[in-house]
């Protein structure tokens, strides 16, 4: 009986440990656009946040593609010390109006390249600020991005959002656009809370899940110990 109880405790403990490791493991960091929401027809400043996922190589270049099907009339790049930014324009299939003026071309890609010594080192991240507007009247803008490392490896963050809400393997940065005058979501954070979250955000959202995983694991261990004590107390001593 005691051996059976011990096996039960070992099984529960193993399952709890696997759950803790699976849930508490860090989420893969990827290129994101922050903030992730803006207003249709308005102007906004966004930051493309680029974490370095390599243990030994540095990030030397970032390419961000702007959606050709939803052109943005005005795109301005904020200088980043040690990096060169080049904005490429493309002809528009259909001209768009910006401040009553018709434009026939728009920025389609921005490339940032690091000078020697300015690369994004392992364990660090960099932000690249861009001013955009007026924003088109669409639900979202998908910015497909390519991240190049010092060994020539290129990570393609180009997967568009899945229709079922799950995150793709290599998600592209997505800027959600709300209609002008739309009521804010009840679940949206207050400006103070949003600022606090932004200040403490390092691009990895695994911390909260890690705590939940640890709690669940401890609960499993406690249940296992209680099962063992109950089995031991009901065991009849051998003659």
Asked whether the beta carbons of 16 and 225 are under 8 A apart, the reply is no
Together in a domain, 13 and 97: no
**Count of structural domains, the chain:** 2
Report the CATH number at residue 79. 2.60.40.2230
pLDDT in the model for residue 188: 42
Indicate whether 71 belongs to any domain.
Answer: yes
Which distant-in-sequence residues (6+ apart) come within 8 Å of 101 by Cβ?
none
Q: Which residues pair with 101 in a beta bridge?
A: 98
Indicate whether 238 belongs to any domain.
Answer: no
Does this model's pTM top 0.75?
no
Place of tokens 């209609």: 179
- Decide: residue 22, CB within 10 A, 0-12 exposed, 13-18 middle, 19+ buried: exposed
The tens-digit pLDDT sequence of the chain (239 residues) is 555 554 554 444 444 444 433 333 334 579 999 999 999 999 999 999 999 999 999 999 999 999 999 999 999 999 999 999 999 999 998 888 777 788 899 999 999 999 999 999 999 999 999 999 999 999 999 999 999 999 999 999 999 998 888 889 999 999 999 998 875 444 344 444 444 444 444 444 444 444 555 555 555 555 555 555 655 555 555 44
Indicate whether 154 belongs to any domain.
Answer: yes
Task: Tell me how crowded residue 59 is: count the other CB atoms within 10 A of its CB.
Answer: 26
pLDDT in the model for residue 217: 56
Together in a domain, 184 and 67: yes
Task: Tell me how crowded residue 138 is: count the other CB atoms within 10 A of its CB.
Answer: 13
Place of tokens 């921005």: 110
Residue 63 DSSP SS3 = strand
Q: Which residues pair with 46 in a beta bridge?
A: 130
Together in a domain, 169 and 98: yes
CA distance 98 to 105: 12
Nearest to 212 by CA among 23, 32, 77: 23
Together in a domain, 169 and 224: no
Together in a domain, 139 and 221: no
Domain containing 76 equals: 32-190
Together in a domain, 48 and 144: yes
CA distance 26 to 18: 14
What value, to the nearest 5°, has the Cα angle with vertex 14 and ends 8 and 19? Answer: 130
Instruction: Dump pLDDT digits (tens) for 193-231.
Output: 444 444 444 444 444 444 555 555 555 555 555 555 655
Nearest to 132 by CA among 107, 95, 162: 107
Together in a domain, 132 and 223: no
Place of tokens 């392992």: 122
Give the strand pairing for 174-178 and 37-39: parallel
Q: Could you tell me if residue 78 is left (phi over 0), alpha (psi between -120 and 50 degrees) or otherwise beta?
A: beta
């Amino acid at each position: 009986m005691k051996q059976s109880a011990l096996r039960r405790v070992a099984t529960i403990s193993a399952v709890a440990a696997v759950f803790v490791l699976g849930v508490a493991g860090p989420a893969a960091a990827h290129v994101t656009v922050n903030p992730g929401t803006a207003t249709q027809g308005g102007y906004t400043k966004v930051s493309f946040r680029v974490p370095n996922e390599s243990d030994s190589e540095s990030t030397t270049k970032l390419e961000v593609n702007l959606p050709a099907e939803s052109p943005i009339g005005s795109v301005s790049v904020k200088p980043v010390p040690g990096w060169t930014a080049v904005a490429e324009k493309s002809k528009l299939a259909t001209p768009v109006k910006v401040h009553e003026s018709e434009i026939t071309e728009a920025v389609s890609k921005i490339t940032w390249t690091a000078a020697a010594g300015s690369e994004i080192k392992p364990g660090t991240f960099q932000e690249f600020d861009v001013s955009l507007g007026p924003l088109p009247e669409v639900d979202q803008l998908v910015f497909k991005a390519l991240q190049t490392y010092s060994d020539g490896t290129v990570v393609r963050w180009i997967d568009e959002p899945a229709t079922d809400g799950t995150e793709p393997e290599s998600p592209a940065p997505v800027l959600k656009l709300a209609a002008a005058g739309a009521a804010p979501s009840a679940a949206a954070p207050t400006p103070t809370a949003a600022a606090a979250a932004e200040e403490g955000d390092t691009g990895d959202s695994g911390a909260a899940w890690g705590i939940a995983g640890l709690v669940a694991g401890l609960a499993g261990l406690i249940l296992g110990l209680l099962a063992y004590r109950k089995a031991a107390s009901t065991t009849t001593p051998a003659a």
